[in-house]
Amino acid sequence: MKGNYGSSSRESRSENRGKRRKTNLILNMLIGLVILLIIIVSSIIFLGGNDEETAGKQVDDKKTIQENGSTKDEDTELDNQTENRSDNEEQEEGKEETPEKQSEDVAKENDDNSKPVIQAPSPEKEEDAVVTNGGDSEEVNKTIENQSWQPIGTSQVGEHVSVYEQDSVDWSEMTQALSYATGIDHDNMTVWFLGNNGHNKSVGTVSAKNQKQKYRVYIDWVDGQGWKPTKVEEINK
């Protein structure tokens, strides 16, 4: 009896130890599984967070690039609009200035046309000049007449009528005749008087600028040829 009891006790202890080993193995496996799950979950959380952060950064970067691109496009468009507006303003100014410039050109052309287109007469021959002391009045120092004087030419056509207005063609041609008779340069000549001396006849008083000596010049109109000097008086007044 005693031998059978001891054998049964050993079998029970052996069975209990086997159960404990199985239990420990299962527990170890469960613990390992839990640890593995923890590692996996932690990895997912960590890597997922990085992916989200990276994705968010990429989205932010893309948004920033798009915003910068939009801003750059807006700036470029604004610059183009400003440049186009400036070009349009310059073109408008050019268009506005064009009529004025055309008017100035027309006025200049009219002024040029108003000036007599005359052919300079041949130089006078000094040997043909007849100089006489005195004259028709006491104020005349000497009188000069020259047969070589010629008409100065004219741009006028049709019947001639003397015009004593300073901006007229006739006035300009008369002063040219006074300059020709006295030898005073037209641009350096002062006209003190120019008036009527009868039908198609005129008389003028001139001097060189900055000089006191005056000359009275008599001129006659020759149809189709212009004004011709006939007499020059050196006067003392």
Tens of pLDDT, residue by residue over 104-138, are: 454 444 444 444 444 445 555 566 789 999 888 89
> What is the per-residue pLDDT across 45-92, written as a single tens digit (0 to 9) for each?
877 655 555 555 555 655 555 555 555 555 666 666 666 666 666 666
Q: Find all residues with CB under 8 Å of 122, minimum gap 6, and list them.
A: 148, 150
Distance CA 208, CA 189 (A): 5
Q: Determine the length of the chain.
A: 237
Q: What mean pLDDT do residues 216-222 have?
A: 98
What is the secondary structure of 11-28 as a DSSP string? HHHHHHHHHHHHHHHHHH
Residue type, 11: E
pLDDT interval class at 97 (50, 70, 90): very low
Distance CA 68, CA 77 (A): 14
pLDDT interval class at 2 (50, 70, 90): very low
Residue (of 174, 173, 124) closest to 146 by Cα position: 124
